[in-house]
Chains A and B, each alone.
Chain A
Amino acid sequence: MGREVAESCVDSVVIEMVSAYCSRLYSTHPEIAARRIEAIGFQVGHQLSERYTMERPRFSDHLEAIKFICKDFWSELFKKQVDNLKTNHRGTFVLQDNRFRWLTRVSYDPTPANSDVSPASDPSQVVDKAAQATSMHLYFPCGIIRGALTNLGIPCAVSADISNLPACSFVVRIKV
Chain B
Amino acid sequence: MIVCVAVVGHQNNPLYLQSFTEADDALKLHHIVHCSLDVIDERVNNPKKTGPTLNETFLGLLYPTENYKVYGYLTNTKVKFIMVTTDLDVRDVDVRNFFRRFHSAYVDAVSNPFHVPGKKITSNTFAQSVRAIVKSFGSSTAV
Partners in one complex: yes
* Segment at the interface with A among B25-33, B71-79, B88-96, B135-143: B71-79
Task: Enumerate 7 A-B pairs (CB-CB under 8 Å) in ascending A order.
Answer: A50-B77, A53-B77, A54-B103, A57-B55, A57-B76, A152-B78, A153-B77
Q: Select one of A60, A152, A153 contacting B55, CB under 8 A.
A: A60
Query: Given A57-B56, A59-B55, A151-B77, 15 more contacts at CB 8 Å?
Result: A46-B117, A47-B110, A47-B113, A49-B76, A50-B75, A50-B106, A54-B75, A54-B103, A54-B104, A57-B76, A58-B76, A59-B76, A60-B54, A147-B117, A152-B76
A residues in contact with B54, CB < 8 Å: 57, 60
Chain B interface size band reads: 20 to 34
Binary CB contact string for chain A from 45 to 82 against chain B (1 if under 8 A, 0 otherwise): 01101110110111110000000000000000000000
Distance A58 CA – B57 CA, assembled complex (angstroms) = 6
Binary CB contact string for chain B from 1 to 33 against chain A (1 if under 8 A, 0 otherwise): 000000000100000000000000000000000
Interface positions, chain B 44-60, Cβ under 8 Å from A, are: 54-57
Q: Is the interface of B mostly helix, strand, loop or mixed?
A: loop
Q: Select one of B10, B103, B107, B116 contacting A153, CB under 8 A.
A: B10
A19 at the interface (CB under 8 A from B): no
A43 at the interface (CB under 8 A from B): yes
Binding site for A on B (CB under 8 A): 10, 54-57, 74-78, 103-104, 106-107, 110-111, 113, 115-117
Q: Are B57 and A49 interface neighbours, CB within 8 A?
A: no
Distance A47 CA – B111 CA, assembled complex (angstroms) = 5
Distance A60 CA – B51 CA, assembled complex (angstroms) = 13
B residues in contact with A43, CB < 8 Å: 113, 116-117
Distance A152 CA – B110 CA, assembled complex (angstroms) = 15
Instruction: Give the Cβ gap from B76 to chain A, nearest Cβ, in Å.
Output: 4
